[in-house]
Amino acid sequence: MNNKENVTIKQIFDLWLPLAGSWFLMGIETPMLTAFVARMATPEITLASWGSIVYPISLAIEGPIIMLLAASTALATDRLAYNKLFKYMVIMSLVLSFIHVLVAFTPLYYILALDLLNVPESLVEPGKLGLRIMTPWTFMIAWRRLNQGTMIKYGNSKAIAIGTLIRLFSLIIILAFGRWYTNLSGIFVGSLAVAIAVTMEALYAGKAVQKILKESLPKTSNNAPINRGSFIKFYLPLAMTPLMTLLIHPAGSAGMSRMPETLSSLAAWPVVYGLIFLTRSMGFAFNEVVVSLADKPKGLFQLKRFAKVLSISTMGILVTIAFTPLGEFWFSKVSGLSSNLVELSSITIMFAILMPGYQVYQSWYGGLLVHYRETRGISEAVMIYVGLALLGLYLGTHFASVPGIYWTINVFVISGLCQTFFLRYRYKGISI
């Protein structure tokens, strides 16, 4: 887009749609996994070990590299900058992969699973197997997100959606083969499917970005060159944001392990979280759109209008699911849960209706702070979220008399609202 052209809603939508599609397809991953493994042997054990050990620990370890997408979108101004970002990506992902290996292949795993997370004994060994299979996850996510950010910056967001389709089809093929043609355990098949699928997507992103590197990315630019100090100053607050947020998910599992109806709550959690993620994914995609268009004429005005429509629409979707038979259909027929888990999940979703709406505004205010290079406010907001969530979970382990999943989702909703209002406060402070 020419910098002198006014931003329109259509232009925002055209940039947002492929990104939203990519996030949505990523969100389908967990419900798809659930739909297959819930129909395999010992579904509650598999779902609980995936939801309380494998997935949250893998996410927490990869947390620091998630914001490479936003960093690449903002900083990949020339080939030299991209090369520097690639170098930093490799260093970070190798360090984090080493941590993953330490957790999955040494006695540290038992300390984490038994002493810290306090998961039921029946989940420990399946969780260890799944975590070991997920070892390539961190490096592939880092490589993919770096290249996706560059593609967004230079107008090739459609390639991101194509890559996610490749990931989804790979996932389905492996899950289907494991379900119908092998006797392998659900945790083995599910973890292997996720690890291979994200690897396929990363390989595609690495190939798709080459055209931009050769034809669109200038060799040099007028921007200040990236060095280790400037990158750390810019990226560290961003990296802390998803890291602290993702650490809350293992904390949530640890909390539910100490609250009423432990196994049912842990088994329902990945299914519920997967559905919430689907609706929040529309808001996740808005962050890079804000970073990309905020400095364009009429950009702020039109982005604000788009945010309002998007937040109302996504909350409306969750309201429809929560208060109509569609919710029961999703949890029973699509996810394949047992009747007691269907009831538990259906009630939990009712408490989460605000989550997709405030996610849009977190992306709105967070994207503006990234645009103005005031990333410290983002990490401060997440510290508020984490502090309140940990406090709420701690109180739940002592006072909860309802199923742990009910208490946990309400803690996350209240903490997320406080995070959103603080982001608004920090943005208003720099925009006055």
Spatial distance between the Cα atoms of 30 and 318, rounded to a whole number of angstroms: 17
Our separate counts of H helices and E strands in the chain read 19, 0
Alpha helices in 324-375 (DSSP H): 325-329, 339-350, 355-371
Which pLDDT belongs to residue 191?
A: 93
Which pLDDT belongs to residue 431?
A: 61
Contact 179/190 with Cβ under 8 angstroms? no
**Amino acid, res. 340:** N
Query: CA torsion, points 115, 119, 125, 129, in degrees to nearest 10?
Result: -100
Residue 85 backbone phi and psi in degrees, to 5: -60, -40
In the chain, the N- to C-terminal Cα span, in Å, equals 28
Which residues have C-beta within 8 Å of that of residue 294, sequence separation ≥ 6? 300, 303, 367, 368, 371
Which residues have C-beta within 8 Å of that of residue 41, sequence separation ≥ 6? 185, 186
Contact 32/181 with Cβ under 8 angstroms? no
Length of the chain as a residue count: 432
Assigned token pair, 134: 């997920």
Among 35, 33, 226, smallest CA distance to 134 is for 33
pTM strictly above 0.95: no
Transcribe 31-95 into DSSP letters. Answer: HHHHHHHTTSSSHHHHHHHIIIIIHHHHHHHHGGGTTHHHHHHHH--SHHHHHHHHHHHHHHHHH
Spatial distance between the Cα atoms of 137 and 103, rounded to a whole number of angstroms: 14
Show pLDDT as tens, one digit a residue, over the chain (432 residues).
Answer: 445 678 889 889 988 887 787 778 777 777 788 788 878 878 888 888 988 899 888 988 888 888 888 788 878 888 888 999 999 999 999 999 999 999 999 999 999 999 888 888 999 999 999 999 999 999 999 999 999 888 888 877 778 878 888 998 999 999 999 989 888 888 999 999 999 999 999 999 999 999 888 888 887 777 777 888 888 888 887 777 666 666 677 788 889 989 999 989 988 888 888 889 888 888 988 988 898 788 888 888 999 999 999 999 999 999 999 999 998 898 988 888 888 899 999 999 999 999 999 999 999 999 898 888 787 888 889 889 989 999 999 999 999 999 999 999 999 999 999 999 999 999 888 765
Contact 307/364 with Cβ under 8 angstroms? yes
- What is the Cα 330 distance to its own chain's centre? 21
Neighbours of 44 (CB within 10 A): 18
Transcribe 131-193 into DSSP letters. Answer: HHHTTTHHHHHHHHHHHHHHHHHTT-THHHHHHHHHHHHHHHHHHHHHHHH----HHHHHHHH
Burial 317-334 (b: 16+ CB within 10 A, else e): ebeebbeeeebbebbbee
- What is the Cα 30 distance to its own chain's centre? 11
Which pLDDT belongs to residue 233?
A: 81
